[in-house]
Amino acid sequence: MKDAENVQLAEALAPIRDMVKACIQCGTCSASCPNAFAMADTPRRLWRMLQAGEVQMVLKSGSFTLCSACYTCTLRCPRGLPLTDAMSALKQVVAHQDALRFASTTLFYRKFMESVRRHGRVRETEFMCLYLTAMKNPLLPFQFAPLGLKLFSRKKLDFRPPSKGGDARMDALFQKVHELENAP
């Protein structure tokens, strides 16, 4: 069973592995990454794991979820590798492969996009309400409270309820993306 899973995962990761095969482990990406301090495994180590075919380790690591897509590593990589794309591809693969573990992270993304779909931009208040409701954890709002108050005091948050339902102008776009993503 485990082996079959491994094979399936390796297949899913193969295109990402191809992206970083030419890496020479110079470390430019890791030294450039603004989030590397918080990662258990630096970007360079992730590429190494991919090269060596250590698929389970990649999955376990999860450091790629911290990528904020600033593209600094892509800009600076002397090998010209699409590192940010690789990070985002990793996120997509594990979102499918290990849905349970990354449930809260993917939920965060989904609710974010839901708000975008409705309004063409994110409405922070609505987005957080959607997210916190979906998480079904009564204690969770308290964790975000200090940040929310800080943002509010700086007039970064709008507590007015969002206009009802939006006007669905973004639906076509999202529909198309969905089709493309699920195309064979």
Partner 1 sequence: MNPEAGEILVVGGGVSGMQASLELAETGHDVMLVERAPYLGGLVSQLDHQFPSNHCGMCRMLPMLHRDSGEQSCLRKGLRHDRIHIRLSTDVTAVEGEPGNFRVSLRKAASCVDPIQCIGCGACVKVCPVETPDDFNAGLSMRKAIFQAAPFNMLNSYRIDPAACTRCGACVSACPTGAIHLTDADRGAFRILVVDDEQIVRDSTAEWLIEEGFAVEKAASGLQALDLLGRSSYHLMLLDIKMPGMDGVEVLKKAKDIAPGITVIMMTAYATVETAIEAMKSGAVEYLIKPFDPEMLLSMADKHYQAFVEAADEKITAGAIVLTGGAALYDPSGDPRNTLEYGVLPQVVTSLEFERMLSPAGPCKGLLLRADGKPVSRIAWIQCVGSRDLQLGADYCSSICCMISIKEALLAREVSGENLRADIFFTDMRVCGKGFHRYKELAESAGHIRFIRGRVHSAIPEAVSGDLQIRYVSLSGIEKEESYDLIVLAIGQRPHPDMPRLAERYGFSLNASGFAESLPFSPSETHRAGIFMAGSFSGLKDIRESVIQASAAAVNASRTMSVLSKSFPQHLDTKDIPPFPDVSREPSRVLAAICSCDAALDVCMDAASVVQRLRQDPAVQDVLFFNHLCAGQDRESLIQEIRQRHPNRLLTASCASCADIFQEVAVAAGMDPRLSVTADIRMPVLCAMSSSKALDTAAKMQQCADLMNSAISEGLVRVKHADAVKPSETAVTARALVAGAGIAGMTAALAIADHGYPVDVVERSDRVGGNLNWIHHTLDGHDVQPYLEEIRQKVESHPRIQVYTRAQVMGVWGEAGHFYTTVAGPDNSVMQFEHGSVILATGGAEASTSLYGHGTNPAVLTQKELETALHSDALASRELSSVVMIQCVGSREAPRNYCSRVCCQTAVKQALALKSQYPDVRIYVLYRDMMLYGFSESAYTRARREGVVFIPYSLDQKPEVVPAETGACVRVFDPVSDRRLEIETDIVVLATGIVPAFTSDDGDIFGVERDPDRFFMEADAKWRPVDAMKTGVFGCGIVNAPLTISETVASAQAAAMRALRILTRTTLASSRITAVVRHSLCSRCQLCIAACPYQARVLDTEADQIRVNAAMCQGCGACASICPNSAAVVEGFSMPQLFEMIDIAVQ
Least distance between partner 1 and beta carbon 110 (Å): 32
Q: If binding is defined by CB under 8 A, does position 169 make contact with partner 1?
A: no
Q: If binding is defined by CB under 8 A, does position 51 make contact with partner 1?
A: yes
Q: Which long-range contacts (CB under 8 A, 24 or more apart) does 134-142 make?
A: 134/107, 135/104, 135/107
Q: How far apart are CA 129 and CA 132, in angstroms?
A: 5
- Closer residue to partner 1 in complex, CB, 79/156: 79
Q: If binding is defined by CB under 8 A, does position 56 make contact with partner 1?
A: no
Residues 93 and 23 sit within 8 Å (Cβ to Cβ): no
Q: If binding is defined by CB under 8 A, does position 76 make contact with partner 1?
A: yes
Dihedral sign of CA atoms 163, 144, 67, 158 in order: positive
For partner 1, the binding residue among 12, 13, 16, 45 (CB under 8 A) is 45
For partner 1, the binding residue among 16, 44, 84, 127 (CB under 8 A) is 44
Q: If binding is defined by CB under 8 A, does position 21 make contact with partner 1?
A: yes
Token pair belonging to 139: 């204690």
For partner 1, the binding residue among 70, 75, 103, 173 (CB under 8 A) is 75
Least distance between partner 1 and beta carbon 19 (Å): 11
Q: How far apart are CA 116 and CA 173, in angstroms?
A: 11
Dihedral sign of CA atoms 49, 52, 57, 62 in order: positive
Token pair belonging to 72: 């600094």
Least distance between partner 1 and beta carbon 94 (Å): 19
For partner 1, the binding residue among 6, 10, 31, 88 (CB under 8 A) is 31
Q: How far apart are CA 77 and CA 99, in angstroms?
A: 31
Give the torsion through C-alpha atoms of 181, 126, 145, 94, to 10 deg. Answer: -10
Site of interaction with partner 1 (CB under 8 A): 17, 21-28, 30-32, 36-37, 41-42, 44-45, 48-49, 51-54, 57, 75-80
